[in-house]
Structure 1
């Protein structure tokens, strides 16, 4: 009985640890995708920004872009596959390059 409880506890800890690692990885990928998309959008390269989100972001990532004054804000969010119901997101802000309209 004690061995069964120990094994069940060990499996629970292992599953939660793997879920946490997957969640952190998705968060880091959202941060990277938001940063790249904001940088590219600030340069006026919206098409490559969308490609960067697909390439760098986690699977299922979506993005929203807002231009305000002389800055652009990109928010990337994605569901965490290993933890249903959990969504991670990241926001990046970049100054628009000279010549780009706000």
Structure 2
């Protein structure tokens, strides 16, 4: 008895080398583009987190400086607090009006158009000299 097998060609090419055509290396290019996009998104997220942290640092620095000035400490001491707590290169503006002191702290940000800044107000403690006017430190 003789058995014969019928082979039907469905248009499939058994030579795998010819099926690739011009797609050779496309996965590498797509991976490189995807990696660049991922790095860019990560950089923007990191810059946003840094801006948020700078905002919190300005808020803390303004509050501490306002409390120090309300207790009667000199403005130089408040500026030292701001220098220690706020981001590098921050500016402090003090405004004394009646029995309150207003401190504004602002800093530069890594993101364009974003300026971390905060204000804090404190009532002068009893016995602390009252004044009016503004001074920048």
Equivalent of 2:89 in 49, 52, 60 = 60
| Structure with more strand by fraction | 1
Distance 1:47 1:7 in 2: 49
Structure 1 runs not aligned, ≥5 long = none
The DSSP-based 3-state class of the residue aligned with 2:116 is: strand
Q: Which deviations, in whole Å up to 9, do the C-alpha atoms of 1:43-72 show, x marking residues without a partner? A: 111222111011111100101011112111
Equivalent of 1:79 in 102, 108, 118 = 108
Larger radius of gyration: 2
Is residue 31 of structure 2 the alignment partner of residue 3 of structure 1? yes
Distance 1:60 1:47 in 2: 16
Give the root-mean-square deviation of aligned CA atoms: 1.4
| Relative contact order, higher structure (CA 8 A, sep 6+) | 1
Distance 1:57 1:5 in 2: 38
Match of 2:117 in 1: 89
Match of 2:24 in 1: none
| Structure with more helix by fraction | 1
Distance 1:99 1:67 in 2: 15
Structure 2 runs not aligned, ≥5 long = 1-28, 132-137
Aligned residues: 101
Per the normalisation by structure 1, the TM-score is: 0.90
Which stretches of structure 1, 4 residues or longer, exceed 4 Å deviation after superposition? none
